[in-house]
Amino acid sequence: MNPDFAFLVEVIVGGLLSGVMYALVAIGFVLIYKTSGVLNFAQGAMVLFAALTFVSLLERGLPFVGALAATLAVMVVLGLAVERAVLRPLVNQPPITLFMATLGVSYVIEGAAQLAWGTQVHGLDLGIDDTPFEIGGVLVSRFDLFAAGVAGLMVAALTAFFRYTHTGLAFRAVADDPFAALNAGLRLPRIWSAVWIAAGLVALVAGLLWGARLGVQFSLSLVVLKALPVLVLGGFDSIAGAILAGLIVGAVEKLSEVYLGPFIGGGIEGWIAYVAALAFLLVRPSGLLGLRSVERV
């Protein structure tokens, strides 16, 4: 393969695989937004809390599976606690109030994580070799491929859940019209609790994969910054949109940084994804696959 072309392919592949990692975080946002209309800013803090809990238990001698099960339980309790103690009392409040509440929750979780588990950084080895392998002159990361596989499985599981299970259908009903769902006899508080638990589980998966990538440290909570343009681009209420937008954002970031960066000073990937998302927003405000809201005025 021509070296320049191989390099281009490598940049695109690397970008797509990074994009999957962004989408992993974005899916946690989508789950909450889809069913309750809340943009959960605490998702990043939940990712940090999950990874820190898991690695701390592992370092205290628990076996991998035991630590995973215990962290799962902790995330279930955390999801329930946030829903019960913060979101439920604020039901029917304006969206900005709910958003600010999740912002507060984010700080509380970050503080609690450090209080409970300390401030040290930790390595996290999931047993996946991160040495690259070469296909036609293109280096591909084993770990990123593994992460993409996990993300794919998770999306498939969530899609099946939403399409074929009673609770999943109830989620969709609540998302479509909460009042109609209530009239049909669905118990909204129970559904909201379930969705917060699901967001906690997604945070655990994202936390383990991001933790293995960055190390488990406070900065894990900053991965939300990578998820936000994905949400804008993909739509806040579409899991498929999050994956598609993640791939686009990842590729755009890398291509821009590598090919455009040298001409405009470099270090542009932090904001170029937002430029792309905002530009798209002007054309399609609900995002790629987000539901168009139609209101009678």
Partner 1 sequence: MRAALLAGATLLGLAGGARADEQHFPLQSYRVGPYAAGGTGFFGGFIDYLNLINSRDGGVNGVKLTWSEGETQYEVERGVEVYERLKSRPGIAAWNPLSVGIAYAMIDRITADKVPLITINHGRTDSTDGRVFPYVFPLLLNPYSETSGIVAYLGTRAGGLDKLKGKTIAVLYHGSPYGKETIPIYEKLAKTYGFKVEQIEVPHPGNEQQSQWLTIRRLRPDFVVLRGWGVMNPVALKTAQKTGFPVDHIVGNVWSNSEEDAIPAGDAAKGYVAITTQASGTEYPVIQEIVRKVYEPGNGNLADKKRIGSVYHNLGVLNGILNVEAVRIAQGRFGKRTLTGDEVRWGFEHLRLDEAWVAELGAKGLFHSINVTCANHEGEGRVTFQQWDGTKWKVVSDWIAPDWASLRPIIEASSTAYAKEHGLTPRDCAAEEQADAGARNTAAEHASAESR
Closest CA to 175 of 237, 101, 92: 237
Closest CA to 36 of 141, 183, 193, 148: 193
Give the amino acid at 28: G
Q: Does 56 bind partner 1 (CB under 8 A)?
A: no
Q: Closer CB to partner 1, residue 34 or residue 254? A: 254
Q: Does 226 bind partner 1 (CB under 8 A)?
A: yes
* Site of tokens 């974005």: 26
Q: From CA 222, how far away is CA 45, in angstroms rounded? A: 8
Quote the least distance from Cβ 29 to partner 1, whole Å: 17
CB atoms within 10 A of CB 177: 11
CB atoms within 10 A of CB 191: 20
Q: From CA 86, how far away is CA 91, in angstroms rounded? A: 9
Q: Does 270 bind partner 1 (CB under 8 A)?
A: yes
- Rounded (10°) angle between helices 3-36 and 166-176: 80
Quote the least distance from Cβ 106 to partner 1, whole Å: 13
Q: Closer CB to partner 1, residue 40 or residue 256? A: 256
Among 261, 274, 281, 291, binds partner 1 (CB under 8 A): 261
Q: Per CB under 8 A, which of residues 2..41 are in contact with partner 1?
A: 7, 10-11, 14-15, 18
Among 121, 145, 169, 288, binds partner 1 (CB under 8 A): 121
Q: Per CB under 8 A, which of residues 141..200 are in contact with partner 1?
A: 141, 143-144
Among 75, 101, 208, 223, binds partner 1 (CB under 8 A): 223
**What DSSP state is assigned to residue 137?**
T
Among 97, 266, 279, 284, binds partner 1 (CB under 8 A): 266
Structural contact between residues 289 and 248, judged by C-beta atoms closer than 8 angstroms: no
Question: Using CB under 8 A as the criterion, which residues of the chain lie in contact with partner 1 when the complex forms?
Answer: 7, 10-11, 14-15, 18, 111, 114-116, 118-125, 130-132, 139, 141, 143-144, 213-219, 222-223, 226, 253-254, 257-258, 261, 265-271
